[in-house]
Amino acid sequence: MTTVLLGMDNQNADIFRESLEQYSDGKLEVVVDSVPILHNAKKAIELSRPTPDIFLIAMNHISFDTPDHENELLETLSSLKMANNSIRLAVQADIHPNDPFLKKIALLQITDIFPGSQHNPEEFDMAQVAIQLSKPANVNNIYKYYNLPSEDAGDAYLNDNLGIGKSNSEGAANERKLKKLVNTLIAQNEQLKKKTGVNTVPRKDYDELVNSLRTIQSSSITTDSLKTTVGNILKVNQETTEDLKKVTNINRDLNNSIVDLMENNNDDEVTSLKQENEKLSHELEIVRKRNYKNNDANGRAAPNNAVSKKRKGKSGRKPLLLILVIIIIAVVFGGPALAQHIRPNNIETEQPAKPTFNSLIKAGNYDTAAKYYPKRAVAAENAMLADTELSDKADMARKILVYSSNDVIKFDNYYFDQKYEEATDIYKNSAEPDLTDLTKERRVMAAYCLMKTGNIVDAKSTAKPLNNDNLNKRIEIFAKFYNANKILNNKIQNDHLSEKEEKRAREQIRKNQEAMDKL
C-alpha cells in the first residue's frame, strides 16, 4: 500500500483523504496528520515514521511565508528533492492547465502535477489524482508541460562563456539542467532577434532562469566555477531588483512632492502677483495725478533734473522714486498702451484660484479632487475609503473612476460592483504600491474578494493582520460551504452517485451556494 502525506490545511485534508482512499480502491493510505504550512514540510517528512511514499501539496490550500507563492513553492520542491530524492512529490494547483507556471514545476522533474480544468481552473478530477498516484511515477505525465529544444546552443554558450565541459562529478546533473535552461533562453532570444532585431530575453523566461539558478546554487554543486558564476548572476539580479525598488519609491515620492510644491506655489504666486498688481495700479494713479498737476502748472511735464533733486532730498525714497520716474515716462509717452496692457492682468487675477487638494479632501469633495488633480486620484480614493461618515462609497468610487483608470481605483469599483473575479485578478497581478501595501479598508476588501473566488488560504493570510474576528469567522464559514460543494461536484462529475443521490447532491449544492452568496 502506498502512503500519502498531505500538504494542506486540516479541512481540505479531510476532503482529500476520504476521496483519495475511496477512488484508489484502497491502494492509497493517507496519513492522518497533514502539513498546513509549507516551510514545515521538510521537517514533517523527516519525522514521519515510516517515511511517506508520496507528499501531495495543494498549492491553494497551504500557508506560505512570503507573498511570492510560486517562487517559495519551487524552492521548497527543489529543497525536498535534494534532501530526500526517494520521496515522490506531487502538486495540485487551482490554475489553468496551460499556465506557464506548470512548466517551472515540470522542470524540477515533479512527475505528478494536477491543475484545474480547461473551463474552470478551480475544478479538478479527484478520481484521476487517486488513480495516477496509485501507479508508479511516470515522466510521460509531464511532457505536455514543457517543450525544450536541443541542447547544442546551451552547451556552446556554457563552454565558451563559463568554461564548463563534460563532467562526471556530483554536479553534472545540475549542469545539464542549467544548460537546458540557458538553451531555452538562447533559442527564444534568437527568434526574437529575427523578428524584432532587438537582443532581448522574455521576462517570464528570465524569472524562470533566476529561480532555477537559485535552486541549483542551494544544491550540492562541486564545480567551483559554476557555483561562483551562479552566485554572481544571482547577486547582480538581487542588486538590480533592489535598485529598481528604490528608484520606484523615489520616483513616487518625488512626483507627490512636485504636485504638492506646484499646488502650494501656485497659490502663493497668485496672491503675490495680485498684491503687486494692486500696488502698481495705486502708484500709477498717483503718478498720473502728479503728471496732470505739473502739466497744468507749467504747461509741460516736469524736467528730469527736478525729479533728481527730489531724489537727493530723501535718500530713503530713491528706489520708489526711480520706479515712479520710469512709470511717468511710460505714462507720458505710452500711457494708453500701458493702461491697456495692465487692465487684462487685473481681470485675470480677479478670477477665482483653483482649490487646493487638501481643501477638497477636507470638504469631502473626493471626485472634484480627482478631477483637478488626476495624478493624486488614488490618494483621493484612499481618503474616501477612510471616511467613516460617507455612506455611499460605491457611488463616489464610480465618480473618481471617471478621472483615473488606475488599477487601485478599478479594483475598488469591481469590488463595489460585486465583480470579485475581476477584482481578484487585479489584486494578484497589479504592481501598484497601494495594492501591495494595503490600507486597513482595502485589506478587508481584498480578503473578501479572495474568499468569494475560493482562494481561502490567501483570504485568511490577507485578513490575518486585521485581527477582525467577524471577517475571520465569515471566511471560515464560507470555506466549509465551498469545500462541501467541491466534494459534491467532484462526485457528480465522476459518476460516483446514483440518480437519486445526485439529485440530492445538486439540491445541497444550491443551498450551500445560497448561503455563500449571503456571506
What is the per-residue pLDDT for 158? 41
**How far is 320 from 182, CA to CA, in rounded Å?**
78
- Both 401 and 498 in one domain: the answer is yes
The b/e string for 305-314 (b: 16+ C-beta within 10 A; e otherwise) is eeeeeebeee
What distance in Å separates the CA atoms of residue 10 and residue 360, rounded to the nearest whole number?
A: 50
My answer on whether 97 and 141 are in the same domain is yes
Same domain, 141 and 7: yes
Residues across the chain: 519
What is the pLDDT, as a whole number, of residue 351? 52
pLDDT at 11: 81
Examine the fold and report which residue of 349, 368, 386 is the final residue of a domain before the chain moves on.
349
Residue 338 in domain? yes
Task: Please state, in angstroms and rounded to a whole number, the distance separating the CA atoms of residues 186 and 218.
Answer: 24
Q: Are residues 491 and 387 in the same domain?
A: yes
Number of domains the chain contains? 4
- In sequence order, what are the beta bridge partners of 91? 57, 113
The residue with cell 520716474 is: 325
Domain boundary among 222, 248, 282: 222
Residue 119 sits in the same domain as residue 71: yes
- CATH of residue 93's domain is 3.40.50.2300
In a domain, 480, yes or no: yes
Whether 79 and 158 map to the same domain: the answer is: no
Residues 130 and 170 in one domain: no
Whether residue 42 is contained in a domain is answered as yes
pLDDT of residue 287: 54
Which of 479, 505, 471 lies closest to 491, judged by CA? Answer: 505
pLDDT given at position 227: 60
CA distance 288 to 187: 84
CA 503 to chain centre: 43
Residues of the chain with pLDDT under 70: 147-352
- Is there a single domain that holds both residue 382 and residue 490? yes
Residue that finishes a domain, picked among 120, 145, 170:
145
Q: Is residue 61 part of a domain?
A: yes
30 and 160 both lie in a single domain: no
Question: Rounded to an integer, what distance in angstroms lies between the CA atom of residue 179 and that of residue 316?
Answer: 86
CA 252 to chain centre: 15
> Cα dihedral sign for 357, 361, 362, 364?
positive
* Residue at 246 is within a domain: no
DSSP designation for 86: T
Give the domain range for residue 39: 2-145
Q: What is the pLDDT of residues 311-339, one digit of tens each?
A: 344 444 444 444 444 444 444 444 444 44
pLDDT of residue 226: 59
Are residues 176 and 280 located together in one domain of the fold? Answer: no
Secondary structure of residue 12 in the 3-state scheme: helix
8/134 same-domain check: yes
Answer yes or no: do 111 and 127 share one domain: yes
3-class state of residue 494 by DSSP: coil
3 state SS of 114:
strand
> Does any domain span residue 250?
no
- The answer as to whether 41 is a domain residue is yes
pLDDT tens digits, residue range 103-137? 888 888 899 999 888 777 777 888 889 999 999 99
In angstroms, rounded to a whole number, what is the distance separating the alpha carbons of residues 56 and 35?
Answer: 10
What burial class does residue 133 get, using C-beta atoms within 10 Å of its C-beta: 0-12 exposed, 13-18 middle, 19+ buried? buried
- Cis ω on the peptide bond leading into residue 121 (within 30° of 0)? no
pTM of the model: 0.43
Three cell numbers written together for 346:
487685473
In a domain, 258, yes or no: no
Q: Using one digit for the tens of pLDDT, what is the confidence trace for 489-499? A: 888 888 888 88
